[in-house]
Structure 1
Amino acid sequence: MTRSVLILTEERGAGGIHTVTNRLQSALAAQGWSVQMQSVRHERPGFLALFNLARQARLVIASNNFLPAYWAVLLGLIAQRPSVVWVHGPLSEVLDARPVPRWRKWLLNWTCRMADALVFASHTSQASLLRLMPARQLQVVIHNPAPPVTAAPPSLAAQNKMLGFVGRLSVEKRPQLLLQTLALLGAEFELTLVGDGPLRHELEQLADTLALRERVHFLGEQAVGPDTYRQWQATLLSSAYEGYPMAALESLAAGVPVLGTALPALQEMLQTQATCWLAPSDSPQALARTVQSVLQMAPEIRRQQALAIAERHPADAFAKAWQDLLLRLLGERTPGPRTVHFVHTGPAYMPELNAYEAHLSALGHSTQRHSTPASVPAQADVVWWICGRVSATHAQRLRHSLQVHEYASASVGRWPAIKDSIKRWQHPRPQHRVFLNDWVRERMGFDDGVPYSLRDMGVPAYFLQAQASAPADHDLVYLGEMSRLRAFVPALQAISKSGLTLLLIGQLPGDLADTVEDLPGIRCTGRIEQHDVPAQLLRARAGLNLMPNQLPVAMQTSTKVLEYLAVGLPILSNDYPWIRQMAAQYPQRIELLSSLQTPEVWTKALQAAASPMSDRSEMQHLAWSHRLSTLAVWQQLGLQEASR
């Protein structure tokens, strides 16, 4: 399908927004996009014609956050196309300078909230908008690009103090400050103003008042190129506010420094490379001193500094950032490293998270964990929900991220089937689902055609590598959720009466600890680090698995069983559906006991148990690396090995 975009504009002729919008059009066209430009102020077609243009495009972009933005969001909603609002200037400062009615502010707020993405020309513009209104959707800062760097040195006039200005002669540009600055400089300084606007006549009068008529040149609106700037020693900028001024970038690319007041946007552009180019205050005196100081530097040093700053704003980076954003809004992705954001809001320990992180890191991707979805950034590449409950609000906020819903278990507690039905009804539709096994998938009951992977539990590689350092000093070992042993106190009593010894790895609840304290031969390690578990398991001759025969746990993987197998221990277990399947798969390693309360049964079972295995090469498939490598989710989400 052809990639096509509709760009709505209102600018005409010269101006920074007009210039950079044309740059965007050229950049997208060079990458194979079909680009339609349409003014919504001058010669705007009828609504139906605009609607048809939006339907023919796959995305709608507003060239600024006012009239084009209103149209872009409205058309995007009606035509069901993603809308992007391009925010150039600092909105808070703009509205302070030009107050608007309350209904207009409400419209601006609504427009920015309803847009699928906001693109800011600078961090300055982003911070300004966020001071006015919350914006929780996708936000990207894409700095305006500089023109190609001009290699030729400046073509200076005979007298060597020429200054310049390019822009609209309007209140927000404060050009009168430039004339007041010129009046404080020596007679060898001259100022050229390229541009027109409502202050033109007032500025001409001010030039006469300050006796500057011979030193100020009003050229009016005209085409601007590198040769324009290269006739000057410096370009001056004195605006009350700016987004990310194109005139400054054009000057820098021509090798001409930009001197001005300490605008936040100009500070962002120059960074630490040319802090002396900014006056410490907005006064004409401060700007005049800055001009004199900078022009005392060697011309070649000034030129190299300007070119170095311009080279930090390449056109290809601008084009790539826009391309990546638009493809993201279309649900497409460019190759390369990504960040997967895991949302796990519950307290349960999830060993699979460590495994996912290691697997993705080996592929060249990065990961972040979140205990609340509110901390997931709107520009997240992939959001992986460990369900739980998926927040519809945040899922909508993150709608342009690839989303995975993982169901490692069916619901537990009271009314589990009802809980699963609520999840099925409430959870939004993701790009992929991951289930522990087929039983969990069927229990959840999704039938919407979303692709899925079955991801069983696994074990860390060090379990498969562990070897006993001394003879076993216990007969049995139990690892896992200790509270479940409350249902098996009679079995613990039978083990104790049989004379067998049992090592419990973990922290017992208080009531259960009191019970176990009275049972000879049973001791508890307390909480230990996961990495120390294999050595503790190998202190026993066999692993013990006790699981209530209740749904959903009776149909779900018992991780402790995999860990026993991984360290080579035979297993004694009560009988329930899942362990029955495992016993059929490992008949020599797992023995099922029909009676748990008879001491003799435990004694005979342990005598008949197989010996621990030192060579577990046939168990390598239990490793997390093997479990995860074959999942379909990686290919579908583009998370194969990243090209670095």
Structure 2
Amino acid sequence: MRVKIYFVTDNKSYLPEIIAYTDYLNSLCIAYQVVNSDFNFSELKEPYIKWVIMGINRGKDKNCYLIHEYLSLSTGRFAFLKNWIKILLSTKPDYQIFLNRYIKNVFYRKKTDYSLRDMGISTSFYPYKVKKEFDFVYCGSMGRNRNIRKMFELFERGILKDFTLLVIGDVPEEIKINFVGENINYLGRVDYKDVPKALCRAKCAINYIPDIYPFNLQTSTKLIEYLACHIPVISTKYSWVEEFSEKNNYPIKYIDSFLSSKEFESFINENHAFPDMSKYLWVNIIEQSQVITSVLNGFKEKFK
């Protein structure tokens, strides 16, 4: 039986996993389509796979093999209530996919087959030979709920005031207004394909994640991308990064372990060793999780 997979997204978020999935499906010559949540599935007569990035998802056609993929936990006030509502209002799927075991523990539906599929990285992340113009680089979200002001304060008047910082990404106006030191450089948003080269302009990267739920339980893709570019990392200390560091011998050091600017200077200029990061490439992450194989087998079993 021929199969077609429909990936359902809200079209608002950048989802590298969708690109990775579709690249993988292309290599297998399996048909797919990325659609919005308002796509009319009732017109489909043959059995199909509906792969929803959650959210909330209601309803399921008889000829549908339904997948719910959970990439994150709810944030902000009443986060636990938001998670519960997502479960309560969503149809029970045929299959579930979770970023990690923490997310599985929240959203798993009893007697449902599932896979754990962690974040991967693109093959474009490798050590580019460019001039090291900055001491540190930060790339990623700068929302208020991440307490990102504390990082900027380190460069404005704290222990890192004598170091330069390159900031990549959308910067809130209140950050730009309040942190105007000559040592802070705002590059703004950069095309994803150009991010690795921009990262390599710095000697060291910053993984600044608040030790609060749910951020402290979620994979830091940026940290893995930094390491793939052979950039050492200073990081806040929280559950996920502690577990990651214990399992791997990577050049990661916690910010609060530095006692002086001289220690920072020594760390960023050290000749660090970087292990092979190929296991984090998307193709290897997908194959290791066996998520595509499991989904296809589940579809065949339901419609045999």
Q: TM-score, normalising length from structure 1?
A: 0.43
1:480 to 140, 157, 171: 140
Contact 2:87/2:107 (<8 A) preserved:
yes
1:423 to 86, 100, 104: 86
Task: Give the AA of the match of 1:439.
Answer: Y
CA offsets per residue over residues 21-44 of structure 1, 9 Å max, x none? xxxxxxxxxxxxxxxxxxxxxxxx
SS in 1 for 2:277: helix
Cα distance, 1:485 vs structure 2 = 8.4
Please name the residue that 2:280 is paired with.
622
Please tell me whether residue 605 in structure 1 is matched to residue 264 in structure 2.
yes
Task: Give the AA of the match of 1:391.
Answer: R
Cα distance, 1:632 vs structure 2 = 3.5
Higher relative contact order (CA 8 A, sep 6+): 2
Please name the residue that 2:201 is paired with.
539
1:352 to 10, 14, 17: 17
Q: Which runs of structure 1 show a deviation greater than 6 angstroms over 4 or more consecutive aligned residues?
A: none
CA offsets per residue over residues 430-453 of structure 1, 9 Å max, x none? 12100000011012243x211110
Please name the residue that 1:315 is paired with.
none
Contact 2:49/2:64 (<8 A) preserved:
yes
2:50 to 365, 370, 383: 383
- Sort the Cα spacing of 1:374 and 1:588 in 2 relative to 1 into closer, same or farther, 3 A: closer
- Sort the Cα spacing of 1:503 and 1:612 in 2 relative to 1 into closer, same or farther, 3 A: farther
Say which one has the larger Rg: 1
Task: Give the AA of the match of 2:4.
Answer: T
Contact 1:404/1:430 (<8 A) preserved:
yes
- Sort the Cα spacing of 1:399 and 1:480 in 2 relative to 1 into closer, same or farther, 3 A: farther
2:119 to 452, 457, 460: 457
| Counterparts of 2:178 and 2:31, CA distance in 1 | 46
| Counterparts of 2:134 and 2:152, CA distance in 1 | 14
Please tell me whether residue 400 in structure 1 is matched to residue 63 in structure 2.
yes
Please name the residue that 2:107 is paired with.
444
Task: Give the AA of the match of 2:44.
Answer: A
| Counterparts of 1:506 and 1:469, CA distance in 2 | 22
Please tell me whether residue 638 in structure 1 is matched to residue 296 in structure 2.
yes
Task: Give the AA of the match of 2:168.
Answer: I
Aligned length: 292
1:519 to 181, 188, 202: 181
1:363 to 14, 25, 28: 28
- Sort the Cα spacing of 1:472 and 1:612 in 2 relative to 1 into closer, same or farther, 3 A: farther
SS in 1 for 2:124: helix
Cα distance, 1:635 vs structure 2 = 2.4
Percent identity for Structure 1 against Structure 2: 27
Bigger proportion of residues as helix: 1
CA offsets per residue over residues 215-272 of structure 1, 9 Å max, x none? xxxxxxxxxxxxxxxxxxxxxxxxxxxxxxxxxxxxxxxxxxxxxxxxxxxxxxxxxx
| Counterparts of 2:140 and 2:10, CA distance in 1 | 21
Please name the residue that 1:585 is paired with.
247
Please tell me whether residue 491 in structure 1 is matched to residue 151 in structure 2.
yes
Task: Give the AA of the match of 1:514.
Answer: I
- Sort the Cα spacing of 1:602 and 1:354 in 2 relative to 1 into closer, same or farther, 3 A: farther
SS in 1 for 2:170: coil
Contact 1:359/1:625 (<8 A) preserved:
yes
SS in 2 for 1:418: helix
Contact 1:386/1:406 (<8 A) preserved:
yes
| Counterparts of 2:187 and 2:272, CA distance in 1 | 21
Structure 2, unmatched stretches of 5+, are 299-304
| Counterparts of 1:342 and 1:566, CA distance in 2 | 28
CA offsets per residue over residues 288-315 of structure 1, 9 Å max, x none? xxxxxxxxxxxxxxxxxxxxxxxxxxxx
Task: Give the AA of the match of 1:480.
Answer: G
Contact 1:541/1:612 (<8 A) preserved:
no
Please name the residue that 2:217 is paired with.
555
What pairs up with 1:170-569 in 2 under 5 angstroms? Answer: 334=1, 336=2, 338-345=3-10, 347-376=12-41, 377-379=43-45, 381-392=48-59, 395=60, 398-446=61-109, 448-463=110-125, 466-484=126-144, 487-497=147-157, 498-516=161-179, 518-569=180-231
Cα distance, 1:576 vs structure 2 = 0.9
| Counterparts of 2:283 and 2:149, CA distance in 1 | 37
